[in-house]
Amino acid sequence: MEMKKQIWERFQIKDLGNHKFFLSMLVKQDRETQTMFLSQQTYLTKVLYRFSMVHCKGRSTPLDLKTKLHLRTEVEDSTEI
């Protein structure tokens, strides 16, 4: 049985469709390519305004943009120190 149907049977809920913001993060999901994009730009802009740093010089992210994240395997978990 579909999870959404099980929840509807137990709780009074309203389906608002795909979420756009979650914990102050912008969420974009592409089901066809099974990809998800997360952005904290809105939160970071608020922080910059709070500390009067809106006009500071930006830096690029230290993470390689071509990095693919994956779930850890049991082998990776067992080799951890």
Chain segment 18-75, per-residue pLDDT in tens = 778 777 788 888 888 888 888 988 888 899 999 999 998 877 777 787 888 888 887 7
Domain housing 30: 16-54
2 lies in some domain: no
What is the dihedral angle through the alpha carbons of 25, 22, 29, 46, rounded to the nearest 10 degrees? -20
Which residue intervals of the chain are DSSP H helices? 3-10, 41-50, 74-78
59 lies in some domain: no
CA-CA distances (angstroms) from residue 44 to 13, 19, 70?
A: 32, 20, 26
38 lies in some domain: yes
Structure tokens of 76? 């990776």
Per-residue confidence (pLDDT) for residue 80, from 0 to 100? 62
24 lies in some domain: yes
The pTM of this model reads 0.43
